[in-house]
Amino acid sequence: MKAQKGGKTAVIGRRQLLKSVGAASLVATCAAPWVARAKAPYELPKLPWPDDALQPMISATTIGFHYGKHHKAYVDTLNKLLADAPDLADLSIEELITATSGNPNRVAIFNNAAQMWNHTFYWNSMRPNGGGKPGPSLLQRIEADFGGWDSFVNEFFKAAQTQFGSGWAWLILDGGKLKVIKTSNADTPIMQDKPPLLTIDVWEHAYYLDYQNRRTDYIKAWLETLANWEFAQQQLDKAKG
């Protein structure tokens, strides 16, 4: 009896084990595409360089706060908000931004989703030993669409400098032409299906610890030493399909 009982227990144990293994693989199957498609809950994307890589133009302290506190907070807040919005849970981050843009009932979700996206794009828009002019292909395109390199620099500089309050300046592709625009707060060109090539964050948290009120010095350093033109070229190639 004891042996039978023990045997039965063992069988049940194995069935339970198989059942739990089955459940685990089902979870794994479901989880894989969600990670690949970057759906909620979102993770804070890794920085493309060490936090001190942009010194002295942007300090490790600024990156520590900007990435470790501000960007992380957007991701954490978005995940909390999405827990109460199951209808949005299956969307990619880009779909989520488009779906909530302009909806007065979804302002908080839009703001945090767009800021999560914008910041990831901003980190990639910078690199150590960047800045200056892009490679010949993108340079020619900029010269043609802006009427010269200096005109582009002036336009980008002006957009970043004159954005009143918090926001962003962007190089975008609009109807087959390169343009410079600025956006307020969390607004992003992907709302309008205009592919961005490069962006600079001009919220005060992006530069205040290093430059205080001297936004102009931050923009200058950014253009001269940080702009990641290889990334911009990749975005242009991708946008053309």
Is residue 201 close enough to count as binding Mn ion by CB under 5 A?
Answer: yes
Is residue 211 close enough to count as binding Mn ion by CB under 5 A?
Answer: no
Piece in contact with Mn ion (CB under 5 A), picked from 1-9, 137-145, 189-197, 204-212 = 204-212
Residue nearer to Mn ion on the CB measure, 88 or 160: 160
| Cβ-Cβ contacts under 8 Å for 127 (sequence gap 6 or more) | 48, 49, 226, 228, 230, 231
Residue nearer to Mn ion on the CB measure, 66 or 127: 66
152-191 footprint of Mn ion as x/- string (CB under 5 A): ----------------------------------------
Piece in contact with Mn ion (CB under 5 A), picked from 8-16, 105-113, 146-154, 197-205 = 197-205
E strand segments, the chain: 167-174, 177-184, 196-201
225 vs 60, 134, 143, CA distance in Å? 16, 12, 20
Helical packing angle, 149-162 and 136-146, nearest 10°: 70
Instruction: Return the ∠ at Cα 193 (arms to 190 and 197), rounded to 5°.
Output: 60
Residue nearer to Mn ion on the CB measure, 63 or 223: 63
Interface positions with Mn ion (CB under 5 A): 201, 203, 206
